[in-house]
Amino acid sequence: MKKILGLLTALLMMFALSACGGDSAKGSVKVGEKASTKLTEKNFFEVLSKTQSDAGSAFMTMNMSAMGQDMTIEASVEMGKTLEEIAMDMTMGMGEEKFQIIMLDGFMYMNMGKMSDNKYIKIDSSDPESPIAGDFEEMAEQMDPASQLKRIEEATVSLKSLGDGGKVDGVSTTKWEVTVDPSKLDVEEAEAAALPETLTYLMWVGEDNLPRKQSFEAMGTTTEILYTKWGQDFKIKAPSADQVTEDVDGLM
């Protein structure tokens, strides 16, 4: 189950993080303006990766619904070429429970509410003595932009434009359908059996070639992601010292 969740996370985040390894200059994309490059089936992944790298940052709102429960995830993401350069401030809410994860300078800060006494657990991804640093490293590997984008491209069985997608966040969009074969992704045989034969995503891409919306249904879960605030500086900061604890026993 852990790897299935990791796979779904990687697929959900593929467009938000697919540009982290790029060489383009951040901030050079003209957000909200019509791009000079026409998006096609042949250049789809390459163009989306470049425009996101150019933008450098985005705000995502993810709404998920499964078995009568709703979950909302909001995340400010500042992209980078390495794990140390990536910054993210993510809040997850399910019912009355709320959790927050901050990634900054190669560290992860997790506020798990009552489970962490409302403090942030500090995790050093490079610390071999940390009992959960391995999970942090595994998550980073699952979300590695270069490898994930390559896997998804290789697993894509159908990619087509569905025409005018209307306006999303005030920007005219084109609606795309992306269908992938999960068996071509890095999933163990027993876990792959729980996934459908194909996963189909609907993507709304702005005239600036930046993703604006994504939705799909899989394994009884309905998911919608909105992308806004492309190119903004979120000034993500680490929690103050008095808010941090390194005691992870309660999460083991």
pLDDT tens digit sequence for 97-149 = 788 989 898 888 988 888 888 899 888 877 766 656 556 555 555 444 445 55
Antiparallel, parallel or unpaired: β 244-245 and 120-124 = parallel
Please give the pLDDT value at position 237.
Answer: 94
3-state helix, strand, coil in the chain (%, to 5): 25, 40, 35
pLDDT in tens, 40-66: 999 998 888 888 888 888 898 988 887
Question: Cβ distance 90 to 73 under 8 Å?
Answer: yes
- Nearest residue to 152 (alpha-carbon basis) of 181, 111, 192, 112: 181
Question: Do 212 and 168 meet the contact criterion of CB atoms below 8 Å apart?
Answer: yes
Domain spans, the chain: 2-24+39-251
- pLDDT tens digits for range 173-208: 999 999 988 777 666 665 666 777 888 889 999 999
State both tokens at 51: 């425009």
| Those residues with Cβ within 8 angstroms of residue 73's Cβ, 6 or more apart along the chain or in another chain | 60, 61, 62, 64, 90, 91, 92, 93
Long-range contacts of 61-69 (CB under 8 A, 24+ apart): 61/225, 61/226, 61/228, 62/12, 62/223, 62/224, 62/225, 62/226, 63/223, 63/224, 63/225, 64/221, 64/222, 64/223, 65/221, 65/222, 65/223, 66/220, 66/221, 66/222, 67/220, 69/94, 69/95
Q: How far apart are CA 160 and CA 179, in angstroms?
A: 9
The residue-averaged pLDDT of 72-93 equals: 82
Distance CA 72, CA 64 (A): 6
**pLDDT of amino acid 64:** 86
Please state which of the four CATH numbers 3.30.470.20, 2.50.20.20, 3.40.1400.10, 3.40.50.300 is assigned to the domain occupying 2-24+39-251: 2.50.20.20
Specify the higher pLDDT residue, 96 or 159.
Answer: 159
**Cβ 36 vs Cβ 97: under 8 Å:** no
What would the mean pLDDT of 59-79 be, rounded to a whole number? 86
For residue range 16-48, what is the model confidence (pLDDT) as tens digits? Answer: 444 344 444 555 678 888 999 999 999 998 888
Q: Does the pLDDT of residue 12 top 70, yes or no?
A: no
Residue 135: the pLDDT is 60
